[in-house]
Structure 1
Amino acid sequence: MDDENMPIGILEIAGYDVSSLLWEQDEIEQAVKELALFPQFREHFTEAFDLINYATSFWLEELSYSERAGSVIATMFRLRDPIDEHVGYADAASLPAVIRQFSSVDRTVADSQLVATYALVQAVQALAVLANWLFQTEVDLYDLDEDLIVHLHAADPKKYAELVQVERLKNRDVEIEARETFRVFMGDAYRAYMLADLYKQTENIDVSKGTFNVSSFLHKALKTAFSAKAYQRASSAGKANSKPESEKQQTVVRNFARVTQAAKRRIAANPTISGADLVKEIVEKDGIATIPTVRKYLKKGGFLPR
């Protein structure tokens, strides 16, 4: 795990394909800010980004990130489901051991860094749930009249946002699920961040210099101990909500593969096919997803523009 740019697997946030949770935080934030309804959820997104920044700071070594940071973060994100499953049945204090069991990280990586990374992963999932719900709301709007919506998006952003708001109100159940799942992930993220801070204090203890605040340490230790059961309850509650998201990610993978194969077949049969006709045939003749979704996957696969 020496490659700091190790891919994290398939992750899309607000239409942006994420390849590094360590180095692409600015790009992710920019993609989120471009959402039409971002202003209405500014505080939620700020909360998530702040916690992600706090958690990432555990990897700073003299104003630069540790060379292991990128690979550890990427590995933990890929293994988040099995780690979460075992964390749900363990007490909070065993979190570093659970992470090491699955990720096989170098022993030189501190427990505080592992737990902070767990907090980062939870916060990223919270961010993705909320951002992708808002992004999908915009994608759904394009099904009404794509040409009109594209024009409106460019010519009158305010009117475009109003239409997105109308689309949002059509399915409040989806919104409720997204907001509840966001809160569960953020709850887990905060508890993990607090625990990471606790581990960091113990790692930096130097009683001889009198720099260790015993009172503060005991207060946080007791708070952590009493929050362990609440932590388990929150983790368990999040299981039902996180499964649909995992299934959704699997569906994304399958649909992307189907669109890619369909595009290859149709281009092989007609090398001069236009981009518009390629999208139309895949939607109408192959029956794969909607026009905006197919176009998105074709762009992702490098088939558009043509």
Structure 2
Amino acid sequence: MDDEKMPYGVLEIAGFDVSSLLWEQDEIEQAVRELALYPQFHEHFKEAFGLINYATSFWLEELSYADHAGAVIATMYRLRDSIDEHASYANPSSLPDVIRQFHQVDRNAQDSHLAATYALVRATEGLTVLANWLFETEVSIYDLDEELVLHLHATAPKHYAALVQEERLKDRDVEIEARESFRECLGDAQRALMLAELCQQIESIDVSKKSFNVSGFLCKPLNDAFSAKAFQRASSAGKANSKPNSEKQLSAVQTFARVSQSAKRHIVANPKISASELVKALVETEGIASPPTVRKYLKKGNFLPR
């Protein structure tokens, strides 16, 4: 396997198996455009792809990408959860140094490259959660009458989209979660791109002069930017905790417990069970919740990825 290729099954966006975040952006965008409800979320996807395209532009050297760009991007995507965890405890301006702590990442990559790649990964995560929610909503209607749905898809796309829209409205909580996750990911991507821009400016300056304080140059604008994120998270947490015994929260706790217990049981019975098989077992066999909800709680319980 080439260093810049991701293992099969690592990432699927709107039904398309992604093997390279650098070279398959056109294919990913085409897969997203084919979603029945794409027109309703056109601006969301436009924003995500705009951030992704800008992030990849940091790797351009004249008219082509740097030779090691694909490998760095693939590696950082695979390590995204660990990198994000470490970054959450670090000073915002130290993101490139945090990333370099992982020996798998090419340490010769410039700070601007690493910050931009982090932005690319976060924007891709946001794109993925929104696109896959729409894709799974669309797929679920085939359980009604597959032949009829296929016929509508081929001959009456407006009626097909209306059917998908009806399915979408059945679980608004899942939509809210997808939208919130999308917005958080893109917010992280925007801040990381600001860091990438600052790093790029610094890289073009002769920093060997003792009078130039790189750390001081970066710290204040980045800390100001990220403090908004911290405030937003704290505010959201306060609202969520205002009614700790609400029916919705109790239901979420119970669902998480059911997912965790069932996941442990299936993994003990079959230690080699894949992520897709585990989700399918909990959704179709046990009927615990919808696929997006099951995946969310499996990830929360550290059962995914596997």
Q: Go from structure 1 to structure 2 and tell me whether the alpha carbon gap of 1:221 and 1:258 turns closer, same or farther (over 3 Å shift).
A: closer
Could you say which residue in structure 2 is the equivalent of 1:184? Answer: 184
Taking the aligned partners of 1:76 and 1:28, their CA distance within structure 2 comes to 19
Could you say which residue in structure 2 is the equivalent of 1:136? Answer: 136
Per-residue deviation, 1:70: 0.6
Alignment of 1:151 onto 2:169:
no
Alignment of 1:225 onto 2:223:
yes
Match of 2:274 among 253, 256, 265: 253
Asked if the contact 1:191–1:231 (Cα under 8 Å) also holds between the matched residues in 2, the reply is no
Could you say which residue in structure 1 is the equivalent of 2:29? Answer: 29
Residue type at the aligned position of 1:194 = M
Q: Go from structure 1 to structure 2 and tell me whether the alpha carbon gap of 1:237 and 1:101 turns closer, same or farther (over 3 Å shift).
A: farther
Taking the aligned partners of 1:28 and 1:48, their CA distance within structure 2 comes to 12
Per-residue deviation, 1:131: 0.2
Greater mean deviation of Cα atoms: 226-235 or 66-75? 226-235
Q: What's the % identity of the aligned pairs? A: 62
Could you say which residue in structure 2 is the equivalent of 1:119? Answer: 119
Once the two structures are superposed, the pairs formed by residues 144-293 of structure 1 within 5 Å of their partners are 144-205=144-205, 222-232=220-230, 253-256=274-277
Per-residue deviation, 1:2: 7.8
What's the TM-score once normalised by structure 2's chain length?
0.72
Residue type at the aligned position of 1:111 = D
Residue type at the aligned position of 1:131 = A
Q: Go from structure 1 to structure 2 and tell me whether the alpha carbon gap of 1:166 and 1:11 turns closer, same or farther (over 3 Å shift).
A: same
What's the TM-score once normalised by structure 1's chain length?
0.72
Per-residue deviation, 1:144: 1.1
Asked if the contact 2:122–2:185 (Cα under 8 Å) also holds between the matched residues in 1, the reply is yes
Query: For 2:101, what is the secondary structure of its paired residue?
Result: helix
Taking the aligned partners of 2:70 and 2:146, their CA distance within structure 1 comes to 39
Taking the aligned partners of 2:121 and 2:37, their CA distance within structure 1 comes to 24
Taking the aligned partners of 1:42 and 1:49, their CA distance within structure 2 comes to 11
Alignment of 1:65 onto 2:65:
yes
Residue type at the aligned position of 2:121 = V
Taking the aligned partners of 1:184 and 1:154, their CA distance within structure 2 comes to 36
Asked if the contact 1:9–1:78 (Cα under 8 Å) also holds between the matched residues in 2, the reply is no
**Structure 1 unpaired stretches of 5+:** 208-216, 260-281, 294-306
Q: How many residues matched? A: 249
Asked if the contact 2:129–2:182 (Cα under 8 Å) also holds between the matched residues in 1, the reply is yes
Taking the aligned partners of 1:225 and 1:287, their CA distance within structure 2 comes to 48
Q: RMSD across aligned C-alpha pairs, in angstroms?
A: 3.4
Asked if the contact 1:76–1:103 (Cα under 8 Å) also holds between the matched residues in 2, the reply is no
Per-residue deviation, 1:104: 3.8
Residue type at the aligned position of 1:107 = R
Per-residue deviation, 1:73: 0.3
Per-residue deviation, 1:258: 10
Taking the aligned partners of 1:223 and 1:118, their CA distance within structure 2 comes to 18
Per-residue deviation, 1:41: 0.3
